[in-house]
């Protein structure tokens, strides 16, 4: 009777690891299934925190500059803001580079604002109250400095998009951009 009361030991089958039981195997299997289940539930929540495809598409934009003739400007949208891309003439570049720094409200050299002498890329939002300055179309008022003019409060920008007169506190912002080829610019 003493033998029938003794705890029964699991019999190891050939090839089993000594010291393991069926209970150990079941606990490991259950834990593995639970981990996979939790991962399956949590993954959709984690992936929903990533930016959507349309948001990622707005992060950068490519501009073909080959059709823009010297003296012309185009406006493209980037992150919901207008960006002015201007192919400046030699005269406009000369004008921008001849300005003494002492005359500028927000001093910046023309060379620090461009990556290639004739190409100027700026966010087309006035730094005073967020208006969109005129100067992109040939018929637009370009202000006293042949650049851009914000008619809302009278800010005048030069051919390097630097503030020259009016209430705007700073130059038009130069976004992060790069030339990906001789005819393409990637903004952002």
By annotation, the residues acting in catalysis are 153
CB 164 within 8 A of CB 149: no
Tokens of 51: 């930016």
Query: In the Cβ-directed half-sphere of 81, how many Cα atoms lie within 13 Å?
Result: 23
Our measurement of the distance from residue 29's CA atom to the centroid of its chain's CA atoms, rounded to an integer in Å, reads 46
With tokens 């949208």, the residue in question is 77
Q: Is 46 helix (H, G, I), strand (E, B) or coil?
A: helix
For residue 182, how many other CB atoms are within 10 A of its CB? 8
With tokens 């087309």, the residue in question is 124
């Amino acid at each position: 009777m003493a033998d029938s009361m003794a705890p029964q030991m699991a019999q190891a089958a050939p090839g089993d690891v000594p010291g393991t039981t069926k209970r150990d195997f079941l606990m490991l299997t259950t834990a593995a299934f639970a981990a996979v289940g939790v991962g399956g539930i949590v993954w959709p929540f984690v992936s929903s925190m990533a930016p959507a495809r349309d948001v990622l598409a707005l992060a950068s934009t490519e501009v073909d500059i080959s059709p823009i003739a010297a003296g012309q400007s185009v406006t493209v949208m980037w992150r919901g803001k207008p960006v002015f891309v201007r192919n400046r003439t030699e005269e406009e570049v000369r004008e921008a580079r001849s300005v003494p720094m002492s005359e500028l409200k927000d001093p910046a050299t023309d060379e620090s604002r461009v990556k290639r002498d004739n190409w100027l890329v700026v966010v087309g939002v006035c730094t005073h109250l967020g208006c969109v300055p005129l100067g992109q179309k040939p018929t637009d008022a370009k202000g006293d400095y042949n650049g851009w003019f914000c008619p809302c409060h009278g800010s005048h920008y030069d051919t390097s998009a630097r503030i020259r007169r009016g209430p705007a506190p700073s130059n038009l912002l130069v976004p992060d951009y790069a030339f990906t080829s001789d005819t393409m610019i990637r903004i952002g």
